[in-house]
A and B are shown apart, each in its own frame.
Chain A
Amino acid sequence: MTDGNSVVQNIRRQDNKIILDLVGDIDLHRSVDLRASLLETIQDKPATMIINMTKVGFMDSSGLATLVEAMQLSRRYGGVLILFGINTRVKSVFEISRLDKIFQICQTESEALAE
């Protein structure tokens, strides 16, 4: 079984910031697609990469691992990775893993853009 949909629904640019709109569950199956999209985006070394999690209903440790890798790769060239719109269910996964203290997390897109 496969849903065939890409995790990254849309990529937007605003000034020197890039915004990725994610959609759907991010599990072992779909995190492969997310990783490919993030690595491709990071190749351009955006100063700020903002990830819209508003439409992500579920995320497991493979999704967390993908985001940790992207954050670490961004930091290597001085870039910043910001997450916003994380629902309660996904937020608890960050909290249990104590990664809520590591990632820069905003409530809204405007808040993330203002960082």
Chain B
Amino acid sequence: MEKTNRENHVEIRILAHPANLCIVRSAAQKAAEQCGLEQKSVDAITLALEEALANTIRHGYGGPCNKPIIVTLNRLNADDDHQAGLEILIRDFGRQIDPAKIKGRDLDDVRPGGLGVHLIYSSMDEVEYSCPSEGGMQLRLVKYLNSSPPDQTNAKTEKTRE
């Protein structure tokens, strides 16, 4: 885990309801701007976060409910080992899904739905799903200052951690 301090750490706790997503998007947008990320990266972050939270509500919790989702925004400072950027952690306490099974679908199959995971991988530099031993899921998303633009061909390599 990269070094963070209190000034660079924001934690938001929401109930799993779609009406709350715009609030988290706004916070992430501000955090990304404060990190100095360019507008395309800011847009990519808000999109990936929206898709991740939507998937948590729909698949993790099985629909809107009064259970919590905790979103953590960490500013990453550049050091010898890491680039500067923004790290987002999304923690839920819903159904655990094997990270290896979380994949985007074939884009040639034009049909409504199923694009969320593809958009997440295409938008972020690092995407890492894990199943904490306490239950639920955690998703780690990272966007670096010197990031490549959103991938419009193939989603980046998927990273998973048991």
Do A and B actually bind? yes
Give the interface of A toward B (CB within 8 A).
Answer: 1-3, 25, 27-29, 58, 60-62, 64-66, 68-69, 72, 89, 92-93, 95-99, 102
In angstroms, Cα B58 to Cα A98, docked, is: 24
Is B146 at the interface (CB under 8 A from chain A)?
no
> Complex: how many Å from CA A71 to CA B123?
25
Interface size on B, residues (CB 8 A): 33
**Do the beta carbons of B18 and A28 come within 8 Å of each other?**
yes
12 other contacts beyond A60-B47, A61-B114, with CB at 8 A cut-off?
A: A25-B25, A27-B25, A29-B21, A60-B50, A61-B115, A65-B112, A65-B115, A72-B111, A92-B44, A96-B118, A97-B107, A98-B152
Answer whether residue B84 sits at the interface, using C-beta atoms and an 8 A cutoff: no
Chain B 29-67 interface mask (CB, 8 Å, partner A; 1/0): 000000000001001101100110110011000000000
Known: A2-B19, A29-B18. A58 touches B25 (CB 8 A): yes
* Interface pair A62/B54, CB less than 8 Å apart: yes
Interface string of B70-114 (1 = CB under 8 A from A): 000000000000000000000000000000000000010011111
Q: Are B22 and A97 in contact (CB under 8 A)?
A: no
* Interface residue ranges, B against A (CB under 8 Å): 18-23, 25, 40, 43-44, 46-47, 50-51, 53-54, 57-58, 107, 110-116, 118-119, 122-123, 150-152
- Jot down 19 A-B pairs with beta carbons below 8 A, ordered by A: A1-B23, A27-B21, A27-B50, A28-B53, A28-B57, A29-B18, A29-B21, A60-B47, A60-B51, A61-B51, A61-B114, A61-B115, A61-B116, A62-B54, A69-B112, A72-B112, A92-B40, A97-B115, A97-B118
